[in-house]
Chain A
């Protein structure tokens, strides 16, 4: 049983391989279906924790500062991410506001909280309380966290309104851009390496 730790199973076609050590920029592909089996993980626990803290601060900037502001004939208005979720919460379409809230605010927030929790404990080579529950939630949340889409959507919105009135991108948009890049690096599947690191 202990020996199965060194095995990897391709999740796309069920082929079995032995784990290998990868150098920088290397990745291992499945011979049969071509899926990625392993990727080089360039971050250690400390670096990961530091980046997660940075991301948590950026999350606050992205959420508390307006993503953009507009002006029309002397009238000004600005909107945060939360304002845009609330704009959807009208009448029969309220449900979509919930989906949007999960995708752009709630899922990234929980991902960051869970990452901080497991990484702070991993610093002392310990498993955090409820470690497996946290790790399973990180897997569940990943596909529903859509910050990159939110970033592109915000930029499209800037162009959409630029034709009608004056648009000024806000601090929130810059924070959102940095945050979405960090999340791609942080919340990917290589966090699973903690299972091996902490065993």
Chain B
């Protein structure tokens, strides 16, 4: 297959905010059309992505171990974690809801860790293996990005509704904070990763000039 020309060969750079192909011969710092900052590559892409990813991984542990909410019905209080919520739906026969929560809350973050980790390691080794598939993998990570917020919203709504003092009361717990942080940090990690590095490895360092 005859590959099309690449922007850097033609002295062009893409503006990420408005999509304009900008003339890069004088290395402008701003897009001439929308005034957003221009970068040939996202600045410090690999370092930032690693940092966000590791932070997310650290938060993932308390997010799964600590209770996300406390249900008090007719006097009896009960803490539940994300996994126990899934198991409860499963035990009551609602396997479909259990599956939705499991995918959104546990499978999606885990997939993002594995996929971004794989992309980072292969880019750092300058690998040319399965470039097209790795590009697809990155787009998949971007696509599933925010679906993990699901559980945060479920807990928020349920806690807002069930407020009957002695009769029944649901309160959010610390786990949900860590869980939300996992979502935010994996989203930041995906945003700081530059997919163009899959095709043009940084050769030890990323292109200079900002």
Verify that A and B bind, or say they do not.
yes
A109 CB to closest chain B CB, in angstroms?
17
User: Contact: B160 with A83, CB < 8 Å?
Assistant: yes
A8 CB to closest chain B CB, in angstroms?
7
Asked if A20 is an interface residue, CB under 8 A from chain B, the answer is no
Interface flags, B143-165, vs A, CB<8A=1, else 0 = 00111011111111111111110
Asked if B131 is an interface residue, CB under 8 A from chain A, the answer is yes
User: Contact: B172 with A87, CB < 8 Å?
Assistant: yes
User: Contact: A156 with B100, CB < 8 Å?
Assistant: yes
When A135-B34, A136-B34 are in contact, do A77 and B162 touch as well, CB less than 8 Å?
yes
Q: Inside 8 A of A35's CB, which chain B residues have their CB?
A: 135, 139
User: Contact: A153 with B135, CB < 8 Å?
Assistant: no
Please report which residues of chain A, range 84-133, place their CB below 8 angstroms from some CB of chain B when the two chains form the complex.
Answer: 84-88, 90, 92-93, 95-97, 99-100, 103-104, 132
Across the interface, A88 reaches (CB within 8 A) one of B12, B159, B195, namely: B159
Interface flags, A1-36, vs B, CB<8A=1, else 0 = 100110111011111110000000000000111110
Asked if B136 is an interface residue, CB under 8 A from chain A, the answer is yes
Which one of B17-25, B45-53, B110-118, B120-128 is at the A interface? B17-25
User: Contact: A152 with B73, CB < 8 Å?
Assistant: no
User: Contact: B153 with A149, CB < 8 Å?
Assistant: yes
User: Contact: B17 with A149, CB < 8 Å?
Assistant: no
19 A–B contact pairs at CB < 8 A?
Answer: A4-B22, A4-B23, A12-B196, A31-B1, A32-B199, A70-B162, A72-B168, A75-B164, A84-B153, A90-B171, A92-B174, A100-B180, A136-B17, A149-B153, A150-B153, A152-B147, A160-B158, A165-B162, A165-B168
Q: Inside 8 A of B199's CB, which chain A residues have their CB?
A: 13-14, 32-33
Interface flags, A150-162, vs B, CB<8A=1, else 0 = 1011101101110
Cβ-closest chain B residue relative to A6:
B21
Q: Inside 8 A of A1's CB, which chain B residues have their CB?
A: 23
B82 CB to closest chain A CB, in angstroms?
12
Cβ-closest chain B residue relative to A103:
B149
Across the interface, B191 reaches (CB within 8 A) one of A5, A68, A96, A143, namely: A143
> Which 10 residue pairs are nearest across A and B when measured between Cβ atoms?
A153-B153, A79-B160, A87-B160, A84-B156, A33-B135, A7-B21, A87-B159, A9-B14, A93-B177, A84-B160
Asked if B189 is an interface residue, CB under 8 A from chain A, the answer is no
Q: Inside 8 A of B174's CB, which chain A residues have their CB?
A: 92-93
